[in-house]
Amino acid sequence: DAMVIQNPRYQVTQFGKPVTLSCSQTLNHNVMYWYQQKSSQAPKLLFHYYDKDFNNEADTPDNFQSRRPNTSFCFLDIRSPGLGDAAMYLCATSRAAGTDTQYFGPGTRLTVL
Amino acid sequence: DQQVKQNSPSLSVQEGRISILNCDYTNSMFDYFLWYKKYPAEGPTFLISISSIKDKNEDGRFTVFLNKSAKHLSLHIVPSQPGDSAVYFCAAIDEKLTFGTGTRLTIIP
């Protein structure tokens, strides 16, 4: 089955210790997105890649970076996690940008100690 | 500034009855609207969508209504089934997808 896979599903890190979250897709979609969702809040777009073109949201902190080494994989790097970065991180893909349906992975829940 | 609002955090409906989930938006540039469904420990799953040029879209038990003048949309589920128990997110697109905070729907057997 074509899908969006996120690893790990649960990640615990220490305050200030860099952490990387992984997303892979078998849908061969051009666009990959990273969202942050805090408890009882709406998922919030951090950035997205259209193919190799990186698009950062204006209010995404510099602490968050992303890499997309190939079509299938996209990584979210948090350089110095703070307690406020504890959240669910959702990866999504779509064939094209705009109104194309986005398909989400199961998410990675990040805990910062 | 929450551009997509779901004012009911939770809703309980008897099995077999109609579930109505509501969503309001403030950005008149939104031209496409979607509903996503989310089970615990899973990512959101696309359910149904509607373009701003339409006022209704139906897919089986699910119907979405759009009232552009009121900047309001709603999702109707008829008849409601226990498997419909989930969190439902309303979302809207102008240049990006903007989500509401979700409504937790519980179907009572």
Contacts of B69 (CB under 8 A, 6+ apart): none
Q: How far is CA A101 from the centre of its chain?
A: 17
Tell whether A81 is within 8 A of chain B (Cβ). no
Flag whether pLDDT at A1 surpasses 80: no
**Which of B7, B23, B42, B97 has the most A C-beta neighbours within 10 Å, making it the best mutation to test the interface with A?**
B97
Contacts of A23 (CB under 8 A, 6+ apart): A4, A5, A6, A32, A34, A73, A74, A75, A76, A91, A105
**A110: region left, alpha or beta (phi > 0 left; psi from -120 to 50 alpha):** beta
Q: How far is B89 from chain A (nearest CA, A)?
A: 8
A101–B46 CB contact, under 8 Å: yes
pLDDT-based confidence at A66, cuts 50/70/90? very high
Between B41, B45, B97, which is nearest A45 by CB? B97
pLDDT-based confidence at A12, cuts 50/70/90? very high
